Amino acid sequence: MNLTVHEKKVLLAVNKGAEDPETIARKTGLKKDAVLKALEWLKAKGLISVDEDVKEVYELNQEGRRYAQEGLPERKLLELVLSGVDSVSEVAKKLGGEFRIALVWLSKLGLGKVDRGRIVLSEKGKEAARGKLPTERFLELLKTGAYASEIPDDLRRFVKERSKILDVREEKEIRVHLTDLGRDIVKKGITIEEEVSNLTPEMIRTGSWRKVKFRKYDVSAPTPPIYPGKRHFANLAKDYIRQIWLEMGFKEMNGPIVTTSFWNFDALFVPQDHPARELQDTFYVEPEYGELPGGDLVSRVKKAHEEGVDGSLGWEYEWSEEEAKRMVLRTHTTILSAQTLAKLKETELPAKFFSVGRVFRNEALDWKHLFEFTQSDGIVVSEDVNFRHLLGYLKEFLSKLGFKKVRFRPHYFPYTEMSVEPEVYHPVKKEWIELGGAGIFRPEVVEPLLGKAVPVLAWGLGVERLIVDYYGITDLREIYKNDVEQLRNAKLWWL
């Protein structure tokens, strides 16, 4: 086993009976810091065992040292009364700022009281005036410092009661012993020969490097863990998800998190009396109303709601422009899909877009629900796509994230038909987890936004639910609790 010169010296000193760092430093001639470092390495190599005992030490602070030198306020008060000065006003004048403290301790220790403007000592006070007060014994004990275990029971209460005159510090007591492996190394013999750890320009220039012994480096020696700065693992995962979509030929969509109900609901053919618009599901913000887009887009969306498109009936109610202007924290990133369709030109078809962004819903928190979370949306716009393409895109994406068991359940959404919920199997919870929604946008969504009926595959997936299995997380709330140990040890997505 490769040992440094310091480790060898320390090991020999321990073998000769030195048990603490101070004694080892004295016997080896090394500084205490060097000894402690060598002890850490010897412990890591299994050559020594280290027992640590942390003790509390009490020491007088500046005020306490002044009391120890000049006398306690209550001692000064006793002496004044014994000398005949017992008027409260006279005693207060002589003691100055210490009078109040002295009076408090006179009462606490049962040494006397104030009666008709004079200080009257009790029998205990008269006796104490001629002897030693308990607090004076306490001061003497602390003059040179005292371990907590050394304070007698009858004085222990003063640690708390006179805490303003003392400092408390922790003192670590270390005892070192050889292990069986350490004893074997010593028995085999240890030769101490000075070694050089760094090759310097001076040594090269003079050629002295030929005459010295260089220290060997043990690449198998244990080393303390290093925690370099890195981004939050959830952000790394989101970047990884972005990379998957980009590799699949998608372009990214971006937009603000505060928007109008027009984009969040109306453009997606969500009726204005839908339960999702109620306060229990949606966060409405101030200013209460925003601006609607220009052109005839608003009128086309209004017509889809009131009359329908291409033979449909719509919702058959009177659509409110004021309701559409209400400002909300976006409840899904599907609004970006709607805004993208509204800007898309026919010459840009076919097209594929995705988004990764924060969304907000007034959810009850539990292991699989958050009220602020991340969603990844996507759309594929083409005359040549169908429902099987939709399932194929989602399966390919989820397989790249490592999910082996994926299934799709029929579902209903106001803005897609056919509609499904993608689900993946959670091996720890032993149940299927719903990831979001997917389907083909209804004509009532596409025609007002794009200007004509074109098949549009669409989906919205909860990112947090996508990443929990990779990190071994069973509760979504654990992702953002900022546990330092979790952040340090979270594995990277590309490993």
SS3 for 172-204 is EEEEEEECHHHHHHHHHCCCCCCCECCCCHHHH
CA distance 165 to 15: 43
Q: Which residue has the higher pLDDT, 387 or 52?
A: 387
| H/E stretch holding 134 | helix 134-142
Q: For residue 260, give the amino acid letter.
A: T
The pLDDT of 259-286, averaged and rounded, is: 88
The pLDDT of 111-140, averaged and rounded, is: 81
CA distance 380 to 393: 9
Are the C-beta atoms of 81 and 113 separated by less than 8 Å?
no
In this structure, the number of other CB atoms found within 10 A of the CB of residue 102 comes to 22
CA distance 456 to 390: 9
- The per-residue pLDDT for range 5-16, each reduced to its tens digit, is 888 888 888 888
Domain made up of 60-169: CATH architecture:
Orthogonal Bundle (1.10)
Question: Residue 254 to residues 251, 325, 396: CA-CA distances in angstroms?
Answer: 10, 21, 23
The whole-angstrom distance between residue 141's C-alpha and the CA centroid of its chain comes to 44
**φ and ψ of 447, to 5 deg:** -60, -45
Which neighbouring-strand residues pair with 51?
Answer: 175
**φ and ψ of 130, to 5 deg:** -95, -10
pLDDT at 493: 62
The pLDDT of 348-371, averaged and rounded, is: 86
Residue 280 has pLDDT above 80, yes or no: no
User: Which of 140-144, 182-186, 389-393, 399-403 tops mean pLDDT?
Assistant: 389-393
Strand order in the sheet with 146-147: 146-147, 48-60, 166-178
Are the C-beta atoms of 190 and 11 separated by less than 8 Å?
yes
Q: What CATH number should be reported for the domain whose range is 235-489?
A: 3.30.930.10
The pLDDT of 140-157, averaged and rounded, is: 74
CA distance 92 to 490: 66
- The per-residue pLDDT for range 301-356, each reduced to its tens digit, is 999 999 999 889 999 999 999 999 999 999 999 999 999 999 999 899 999 999 99
pLDDT at 350: 94
CA distance 376 to 370: 15
Q: Half-sphere exposure of residue 98, counting CA atoms within 13 Å on the CB side?
A: 17
Are the C-beta atoms of 296 and 306 separated by less than 8 Å?
no
Give the pairing of strands 284-289 and 251-252: unpaired
User: Which of 13-27, 45-59, 220-234 tops mean pLDDT?
Assistant: 13-27
- The per-residue pLDDT for range 213-234, each reduced to its tens digit, is 887 777 776 677 888 888 888 8
CA distance 420 to 426: 19
Are the C-beta atoms of 141 and 149 separated by less than 8 Å?
no
Question: Residue 35 to residues 11, 14, 17, 133, 491: CA-CA distances in angstroms?
Answer: 10, 11, 15, 45, 36
Q: What does the domain layout of the chain look like in residue ranges?
A: 60-169, 235-489
Which of 169-173, 377-381, 460-464, 483-487 bottoms out in mean pLDDT, i.e. has the lowest?
169-173
CA distance 382 to 455: 6
Residue identified by tokens 């040992």 is 3
Say what angle helices 88-95 and 73-82 make with each other, to 10 degrees.
130
Q: What is the pTM of this model?
A: 0.60
Residue 484 has pLDDT above 80, yes or no: yes
Residue 495 has pLDDT above 60, yes or no: no
**pLDDT-based confidence at 147, cuts 50/70/90?**
low
**pLDDT-based confidence at 494, cuts 50/70/90?**
low
The pLDDT of 254-280, averaged and rounded, is: 90
Q: Using H for helix, E for strand and C for coil, what is the string for 272-290?
A: CCCHHHCCCCCCEEEEEEC
Residue 199 has pLDDT above 80, yes or no: yes
Which neighbouring-strand residues pair with 166?
Answer: 60
Say what angle helices 180-188 and 5-15 make with each other, to 10 degrees.
110
pLDDT at 241: 93
With b for 16 or more beta-carbon neighbours within 10 A and e for fewer, the 210-236 pattern comes to eeeeeeeeeeeeeeeeeeeeeeebbeb
Rg value, the chain, Cα: 39
DSSP state of 87: B
CA distance 28 to 13: 7
pLDDT at 423: 92
- 388: tokens are 């099987």
pLDDT at 381: 97
Q: For residue 194, give the amino acid letter.
A: E
- 216: tokens are 């060997």
Give the pairing of strands 456-462 and 372-381: antiparallel
pLDDT at 336: 96
Q: Which residue has the higher pLDDT, 283 or 354?
A: 354
Are the C-beta atoms of 442 and 422 separated by less than 8 Å?
no
pLDDT > 70: what percent of the chain?
A: 98
**φ and ψ of 217, to 5 deg:** -105, 130
